[in-house]
Structure 1
Amino acid sequence: MREAFGATFDVPDGYLNTPSIGAPPTTVAAAVEDTLVRWRRGLDTPADFDGAVHAARVGFAQLVGVPADRVAIGASASQVVSMVAAGLPEGARVLTAEREFTSVTFPFAARPGVSVDEVPLSELPGVLTGYDLVAVSVAQSADGALVDLDALREAAERVDVPVLLDVTQAAGWIPLDLAWADWVACAGYKWLLAPRGVAWLAVHPRAHERTVPVAANWYAGEDPWDTTYGLPLRLASDARAFDLSPAWLAFTGAAVSVPYLAGLDLTEVREHCVGLADGLLERLGLPGRGSAIVTIGSDDAAQRLAAAGVVASVRDGKVRVGFHLYNTADDVERVVSALA
């Protein structure tokens, strides 16, 4: 067991795979286990999960700095991004970063008549003119590189280009204030330490009419229990109009993990995570990058780390590790020793 930031984590030494799957606090796993028992015994009704959905929605809103009535719930990053892609007109041009995670780009690339251009991440804020949308991750999945949010906001406002930000690899370790963005998408099973099957889309009021509820359903009604049968279409007036009917078990976990993270001092969390990541880079003779995600490009790094008990992943041809709440200097030492 590891104790960190007021929580207990049953995570093994050397677990550095948060960019793929976050390891939950024991309280989160216990909440899901309790729900499994109740499910097996037939003790819950659908309405019993509304409180969990609400708690997770409010927690996510706090993490990204938006009002809760702007937040829709979903199941995956690509699913919520698809509602933005569906609202683009024929001939729209979308700008993104090179090697961007495909859950961000594929929903747009799959739209007939919509073109998607890639540019280096560092150049993206400077080339927005002529585009109908920019879609980019705050922290890149492949290597943890961070977009310059201040520069992107200034450029987007200057040339009036809508912005979609994916915070799947950022929310939970970076303090975020993204009320200015048109859309903010996120999946919860990585840094937000929730089960897979939970996602969110924050929708700015000015972008509401340009967001299409491609999976419109009963749960997206103003009163979900009054929209279970019959026409006409009657969706909620706020971002709940874009809700997907929730995955109950997943949301019982998110209802614990997301408010927990929202209640932490995220500046302290970032200092902890980045301190470990940059400390590893320094030990490897490399400059710090200010990200919780580190990539290692040596030919046999994956094999050597696995042999040392380090749980990592390989992305875009490099070993990727990530440092979260439960990681310590001992994890850094384990990586350094394996690669020495």
Structure 2
Amino acid sequence: MELHEAVHLWEPTPGYLNTASYGLPPRPALEAVRRVLGEWQRGDEPWSSWDVSTGRAREEFARLVGADADDIAVGAAVSQQLAPVAASLPSGAHVVVPEAEFTSNLFPWLVQDLNVRTVPLEKVAEAVDGRTALVAFSVVQSATGEVAPVDDIVAAARAHDALVVADATQAVGWLPVDARRFDVLACAAYKWLMAPRGAAFCYVAPAVRERIRPVAAGWYAGEEPSGEPHAYYGPPLRLASTARRFDLSPAWLSYVGAAPALELLGAIGVERIHAHDVALADRFLAGLGLPPTGSAIVSVDLPGAQERLAAAGVRAAVRDGRLRAAFHLYTTDADVDLALNALT
């Protein structure tokens, strides 16, 4: 699908530059949720009809990140998906994390009895050494939009046999990401994947699956000996042999909205989305006399910017004292110009 064919599927109020906070649903996602709300209200359908969307969303996310659906777990939030990884590390294990990392990929390590070292993002690779058990970082930093030096960090981790854990919440959906480069890659879907909050995905490499204890295992993580999913009652423990052993029982309405949103992203193609989003971000920076960054998220130090943008009806965010603007499929040149006129 071409971008110009998809643009009518969103109806934002002009001036929305805040996808890094939450994405806007395309019409198919919104209509799917509205339909199921009615079914829920009336009791017309069994829950299993809604749960089909969980499988659809899992498969589409896997395609977006170049993985197999069997290697993707579903859940509700990044911190929930990383907690079993942290809980499986030995006491005192050394973990390296960027110092400005979003807390969903920091608190899971800090609450355990681990030796967590935080360093500037550009120093993460050189901070990995023979003592390091795991390195965790965001593919794209939430506050600044900076794209991490993935090649350097992964190479350093592999050289020292350290696990590589990534938060791709601010990346998947606009930036091409290959999940197979990591041991674990988690992603909340309510930003660039434009799903309702309550849907999240986690790639777990087959090579590390047995090293992680599925401490949140429930009925949705089970598998009957016949191969049928969902072990409802009684022992013995019979977890799925795939990454589904890490599944959290899904919030059905969230996945009902996630499936069509992800399918639309797949139909358009991440390469096209990347070119569109970054071009708009670069246009915004050029209008401020700033160089391009290659990211769909930009962070600029402009005192009073949020107030001026709000007065013009432009929605953006402030993170770490700086204006953060984000540009996605439904952003237009007119949105960029509206923001620039307010700021300049």
Are residue 320 (structure 1) and residue 320 (structure 2) matched?
A: no
Distance 1:153 1:259 in 2: 29
Maintained 8 Å contact 1:74/1:243? yes
Q: Deviations over 1:161-202 (max 9, x none)?
A: 110011100000011112121001000000000000001111
Distance 2:77 2:125 in 1: 26
TM-score w.r.t. length of structure 1: 0.96
Letter paired with 1:289: T
Matched residue of 1:270: which SS? helix
% identical equivalent positions: 46
Maintained 8 Å contact 1:4/1:326? no
Matched residue of 2:39: which SS? helix
Distance 2:165 2:229 in 1: 31
Out of 79-88 and 6-15, give the one that drifted further.
6-15
Are residue 115 (structure 1) and residue 132 (structure 2) matched?
A: no
Unaligned runs of 5+ in 1: none
1:286 CA displacement: 1.2
Distance 1:20 1:177 in 2: 23
Equivalence map 1:235-246=2 (5 Å): 235-246=239-250
Are residue 296 (structure 1) and residue 297 (structure 2) matched?
A: no
Letter paired with 1:336: L
Match in the other structure for 2:125: 125
Q: Deviations over 1:125-170 (max 9, x none)?
A: 2221121101100000001001112222222222221100111000
Matched residue of 1:263: which SS? helix
Are residue 145 (structure 1) and residue 146 (structure 2) matched?
A: yes
1:248 pairs, out of 240, 249, 252, with: 252
TM-score w.r.t. length of structure 2: 0.95
The number of aligned residues is: 338
Maintained 8 Å contact 2:36/2:50? no
Out of 152-161 and 68-77, give the one that drifted further.
152-161
Matched residue of 2:116: which SS? strand
Are residue 36 (structure 1) and residue 37 (structure 2) matched?
A: yes
Equivalence map 1:163-312=2 (5 Å): 163-223=164-224, 227-312=231-316
Match in the other structure for 2:72: 71
1:46 CA displacement: 2.4
Letter paired with 1:132: A
1:7 CA displacement: 5.2
Maintained 8 Å contact 2:51/2:252? no
Distance 2:288 2:229 in 1: 57
Maintained 8 Å contact 1:4/1:325? no
Matched residue of 1:192: which SS? coil
Letter paired with 2:145: G
1:3 CA displacement: 6.1
Distance 2:20 2:97 in 1: 20
Distance 2:14 2:109 in 1: 40
Unaligned runs of 5+ in 2: none
